[in-house]
């Protein structure tokens, strides 16, 4: 928030109006403002208030008159005669650099002086007003008579030595997206590390594939793959989970790369969501990344139809495809092109699915709110320094904006 204040002696303005009103008006005020003065019989108090307002705005900008001209700052009045500033392109651009959307202006008078006080601030409801109804309608209202089990038991099979961040990001994203119980299922060698990293998330460890599968008996849905690593053991792990676990699975990163025979996706009984970036989808389809990028919509639909999956093709304007349905996401920014951002998205998708949202709609909501969280983080921190944990931090605010 920024402020500007100015005080003008009314007699000074009265003298100017008496001697050179026409040239004064022409230099300082717009035609709309001059028309307002005429309706007020050229009252010096009114003119002084407008003059002080322009000075106050220039001080709010921190430039003074010069970088911004008198006429770039236009003071108008609404139907209740409340003053406001109409922003031309030059003023809008200057305010944008200061991260300001709105200006509140107050003008006061007494016998000798006119005082203008301006406050510029970020409109926190701006993003909320632009949220599409098709997204708002997906997020359900919570009922009072619920408990942690009501909102799903999510499992995150992710992480390997040197890649514990993937497991942390996906699991924390699921928790921050509303899941009641989240389990981080990791190799035994990571158990102590993850137990230290987590507070609210339950850590389960395994030393063989059967032990891992045993942890899935009471799990409603899974994220499988982020930071998992690639070797023959992990290939067997992924294939057996895809074959034996009947609940929804969000397959990401190494989970996609470890698939030798994509028919395992088509033959699954449960819902499968794959979340590839273009390179991962190119490997799955045995083509190249440039070809995927040239025909993103085509390959998203092609993959969904061929393998009976929901495809979330990440990148600028992330696509969600399922059979004949297609959604193109419009939130997000280049700062989100950072390690771990996709892990956050995977955790959000499985969270919404396990809360009972229809899977395609859950993917729409997750991609939109993931991008919105990134946009909120960008507003505070900028694009260059934005990291995946910043996206995590803004998930609750993004969901609050959608909910409200």
For residue 46, the model assigns a pLDDT of: 96
Both 357 and 268 in a single domain? Answer: yes
How many whole angstroms separate alpha carbon 346 and alpha carbon 96?
Answer: 33
Together in a domain, 88 and 152: no
* Strands 2-9 and 113-121, sheet pairing: antiparallel
- Domain termination site, one of 82, 103, 123: 123
Whether residue 181 is found in the same domain as residue 133: yes
Q: Bridge-partner residues for 322, per DSSP?
A: 325
**Domain end residue (candidates: 123, 153, 181):** 123
The residues near 87 (Cβ < 8 Å, ≥ 6 apart) are 95, 103
| Whether 79 and 157 share a structural domain | no
User: In what order do the strands lie in the sheet containing 181-187?
Assistant: 202-206, 181-187, 153-157, 221-224, 249-251, 272-274, 310-313, 319-322, 325-328
**Active-site amino acid positions:** 59, 109
Whether 68 and 146 map to the same domain: the answer is no
Is the pTM value of this prediction over 0.85? no
Buried b (16+ CB within 10 A) or exposed e, 31-55: eebbebbeeeeebbbbbbbbbbbbb
| Residues 83 and 166 placed together within one structural domain of the fold | no
- Whether residues 77 and 21 share a domain: the answer is yes
Q: How confident is the model at residue 341 (pLDDT cuts 50, 70, 90)?
A: very high
**Mean pLDDT of all residues belonging to the chain:** 95
Residue range(s) defining the domain that contains residue 381: 129-403
- Identify the CATH number of the domain in which residue 244 sits: 3.40.1190.20
My answer on whether 137 and 166 are in the same domain is yes
Total number of domains in the chain:
2
More confident residue, 264 or 404: 264
Q: What is the CATH number of the domain that holds 10?
A: 3.90.470.20
Last residue of a domain, one of 123, 141, 171: 123
Q: Are 49 and 109 in contact (CB under 8 A)?
A: yes
Residues 144 and 113 in one domain: no
Q: Are residues 73 and 118 part of one domain?
A: yes
Within this chain, do residues 184 and 237 fall inside the same structural domain, yes or no? Answer: yes
Please state which of the ranges 140-149, 155-164, 176-185, 387-396 shows the lowest mean pLDDT: 140-149
**Same structural domain, 54 and 188:** no
pLDDT at 351: 98
């Amino acid at each position: 928030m920024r402020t500007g204040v100015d005080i003008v002696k009314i007699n000074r303005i009265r003298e100017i109006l008496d001697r050179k009103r026409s040239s004064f008006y022409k230099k300082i005020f717009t035609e709309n403002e001059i028309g307002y003065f005429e309706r007020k019989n050229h009252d010096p108090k009114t003119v002084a208030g407008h003059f002080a307002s322009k000075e106050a705005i220039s001080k709010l900008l921190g430039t003074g008159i010069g970088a911004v001209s008198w006429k770039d700052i236009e003071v108008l009045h609404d139907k209740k005669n409340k003053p406001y500033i109409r922003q031309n392109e030059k003023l809008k651009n200057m305010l944008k650099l200061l991260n300001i959307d709105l200006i509140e202006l107050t003008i006061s008078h007494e016998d000798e002086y006119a005082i203008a006080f301006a406050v510029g601030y970020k409109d926190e409801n701006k993003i909320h007003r632009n949220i599409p109804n098709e997204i708002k309608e997906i997020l359900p209202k919570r009922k009072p008579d619920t408990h942690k089990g009501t909102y799903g038991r999510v499992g995150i099979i992710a992480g390997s030595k040197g890649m514990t961040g993937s497991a942390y990001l996906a699991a924390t994203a699921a928790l921050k997206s509303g899941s009641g119980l989240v389990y981080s299922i990791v190799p035994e060698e990571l158990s102590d590390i993850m137990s230290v990293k987590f507070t609210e998330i339950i850590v389960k460890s395994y030393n063989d594939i059967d032990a891992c599968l045993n942890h899935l008996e009471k799990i409603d849905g899974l994220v499988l793959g982020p930071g998992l690593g690639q070797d023959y053991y992990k290939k067997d792990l992924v294939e057996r989970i895809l074959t034996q676990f009947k609940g929804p699975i969000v397959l990401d990163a190494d989970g996609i790369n470890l698939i030798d025979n994509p028919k395992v996706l088509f033959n699954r009984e449960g819902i499968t969501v794959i979340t590839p970036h273009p390179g991962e989808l190119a490997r799955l389809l045995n083509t190249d990344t440039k070809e995927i990028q040239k025909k993103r919509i085509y390959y998203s639909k092609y993959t969904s139809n061929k393998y009976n999956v929901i495809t979330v093709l990440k990148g600028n304007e992330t696509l969600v495809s399922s059979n004949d349905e297609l959604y193109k996401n419009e939130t997000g920014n280049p700062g989100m092109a950072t390690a771990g951002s996709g892990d956050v998205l995977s955790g959000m998708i499985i969270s919404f699915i396990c809360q009972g949202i229809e899977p395609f709609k859950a993917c729409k909501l997750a991609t939109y709110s993931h991008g919105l969280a990134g946009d909120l983080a960008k507003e505070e921190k900028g694009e260059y320094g934005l990291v995946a944990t910043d996206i995590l931090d803004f998930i609750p605010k993004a969901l609050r904006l959608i909910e409200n």
